[in-house]
């Protein structure tokens, strides 16, 4: 494929990852922090930004590791361990750098960084990248799109949940129950975007 | 979380995992990697077997190694133990049932980042002998599987009119307008929300007279 074709494919993949194939609403990845941290907008914002950054970088790192280390060695089945190590190491590294150079950013994101290691969205994006056989450039679009999609979803949810705080909800539905229902409604709305990308 | 009693019996551990602290409606954890496969009962069963295997054995392994593991790299060691068992599941599935492996896509690998597995290893395996850790992991995973199977059963019957691929009377016939939404992602969210709602309400009703 020529460079131009790859870039345009990367754009399509990026938009699809944000809307129709939203990693959270269509693939259920990263649901635990989505339910746990969406209670207030500020926390959701911090976590969302951290996810965009870490997801984009680790997907690319994992792409390099997979195609230049595992495939030549024939160790594809080893990818789970390699990916999780790369993710954990990267998160640790970012945490150290941020703590050293930007105390402000550390204050904002610090608590969320360790959580990210066990965020399924990060690992899931890397595994999808392998299964769908994306090229490096397309992977850039995919990583960015997935992160932004997750960010959008959790911000929308946090906004809605702040409004819900004063509403009367059946006791059994309070907390996770109502969050899941809203997520379902949001998922329906996001599926509505599929018309935009039809025929691609 | 309840304080650790000196020697909980197997029955208590079972009850705790299946009902009182059920991972799904009690703690709403670890639904990420598994909710996606609940549109078909068969996929769910395979996924749950994988989860039970991974959780019980990795909890026991963490427990065996708990005195040998340095505290500051504990999380990393736990992750590697879990990843080790997940790879076994993945390789076995790839060898004996490749079609199922490609159906499940990335979700088998995502058992590694399933909060339940890590959570139980950390909360229970780390401070209890291997036998009990194994039981705890087993029943926690079982409690989790039961709920997902309920979700999957409803989704497949309402959405496709089949149960594990077999046609269900009435629901498979033209008289039943299939609820396609149940097999799409929103259906999973709604179904899980309803299940959480029902079970939490039952739990709350049971607790009330005790107060």
What secondary structure, in 3-state letters, does A162-193 show?
HHHCCCCCCHHHCCHHHHHHHHHHHHHHHHHH
Structural domain contains residue A198: no
Q: What is the pTM of this model?
A: 0.83
For residue B121, is pLDDT > 70? yes
Number of domains in chain A: 1
| B201:A26 CB<8 A | no
Structural domain contains residue A179: yes
| A28:B86 CB<8 A | no
Chain A CB contacts of B189 under 8 Å are: 180-181, 183-184, 187
Give the model's confidence band at B54: pLDDT under 50 very low, under 70 low, under 90 confident, else very high: very high
Tell me the pLDDT of chain B averaged across its residues.
Answer: 82
Structural domain contains residue A195: no
pLDDT of amino acid B5 = 46
Closest residue in A to B29 (Cα) is A32
Chain A CB contacts of B181 under 8 Å are: 188
pLDDT of amino acid B195 = 86
Chain A CB contacts of B91 under 8 Å are: 77
User: Is residue B26 a contact partner of residue B147, using CB atoms and an 8 Å limit?
Assistant: no
Structural domain contains residue A124: yes
Average pLDDT over residues A4-19: 88
CA quadruple A26, A29, A32, A37: dihedral sign: negative
Which ipTM was obtained for this model? Answer: 0.82
Structural domain contains residue A69: yes
What is the C-alpha separation between B5 and A179, in angstroms, rounded? 34
Tally C-beta pairs within 8 A across A and B: 131
User: What's A6-68 look like in SS3?
Assistant: HHHHHHHHHHHHHCCCCCCCCCCCCHHHHHHHCCCHHHHHHHHHHHHHHHHHHHHHHHHHHHH
CB-nearest partner of B112 from A84, A128, A131: A84
Structure-token pair, residue A118: 């066990």
Question: Domain limits of chain B?
Answer: 10-210
CB atoms inside a 10 Å sphere around CB B94: 14
Residue A100: give the domain boundaries: 3-190
Chain B CB contacts of A21 under 8 Å are: none
Q: What is the pLDDT of residues B65-84, one digit of tens each?
A: 888 888 777 878 888 899 99
| A123:B115 CB<8 A | no
């Amino acid at each position: 494929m020529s460079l131009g074709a790859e870039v345009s494919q990367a754009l399509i993949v990026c938009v699809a990852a944000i809307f129709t194939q939203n990693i959270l609403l269509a693939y259920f990845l990263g649901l635990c922090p989505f339910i746990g941290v969406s209670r207030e907008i500020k926390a959701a914002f911090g976590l969302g930004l951290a996810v965009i950054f870490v997801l984009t970088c680790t997907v690319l790192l994992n792409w390099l590791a997979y195609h230049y280390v595992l495939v030549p060695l024939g160790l594809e089945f080893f990818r789970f361990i390699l990916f999780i190590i790369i993710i954990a190491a990267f998160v640790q590294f970012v945490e150290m750098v941020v703590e050293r150079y930007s105390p402000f950013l550390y204050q904002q994101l610090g608590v969320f960084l360790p959580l990210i290691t066990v965020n399924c969205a990060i690992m899931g994006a890397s595994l999808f990248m392998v299964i769908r056989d994306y090229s490096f450039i397309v992977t850039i679009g995919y990583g960015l799109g997935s992160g932004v999609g997750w960010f959008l979803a959790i911000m929308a949810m946090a906004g809605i949940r702040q409004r819900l705080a004063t509403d009367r909800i059946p006791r059994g539905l309070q907390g996770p129950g109502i969050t899941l229902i809203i997520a379902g409604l949001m998922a329906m709305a996001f599926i509505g975007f599929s018309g935009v990308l039809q025929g691609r | 979380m309840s304080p650790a009693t000196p020697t909980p019996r197997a029955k208590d551990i079972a009850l705790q995992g299946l009902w009182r602290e059920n991972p799904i409606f009690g703690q709403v954890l670890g639904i990420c990697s598994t909710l996606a496969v609940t549109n078909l009962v068969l996929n769910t069963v395979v996924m749950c077997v994988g989860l039970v295997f991974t959780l019980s054995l990795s909890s026991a392994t963490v427990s065996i190694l708990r005195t040998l593991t340095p505290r500051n790299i504990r999380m990393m060691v736990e992750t590697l133990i879990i990843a080790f068992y997940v790879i076994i599941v993945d390789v076995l599935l790839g060898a004996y049932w490749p079609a199922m492996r490609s159906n499940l896509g990335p979700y088998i690998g995502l058992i590694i980042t399933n909060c339940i597995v890590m959570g139980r290893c950390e909360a229970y395996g780390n401070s209890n002998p291997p036998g009990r850790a194994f039981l705890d992991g087993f029943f926690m995973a079982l409690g989790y599987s039961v709920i997902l199977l309920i979700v999957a059963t409803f989704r497949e019957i309402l959405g496709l009119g089949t149960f594990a691929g077999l046609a269900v009377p009435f629901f498979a016939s033209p008289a039943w307008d299939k609820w396609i939404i149940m097999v799409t992602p929103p259906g999973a969210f709604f179904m899980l929300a309803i299940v959480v709602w029902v079970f939490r309400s039952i739990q709350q009703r049971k607790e009330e007279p005790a107060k």
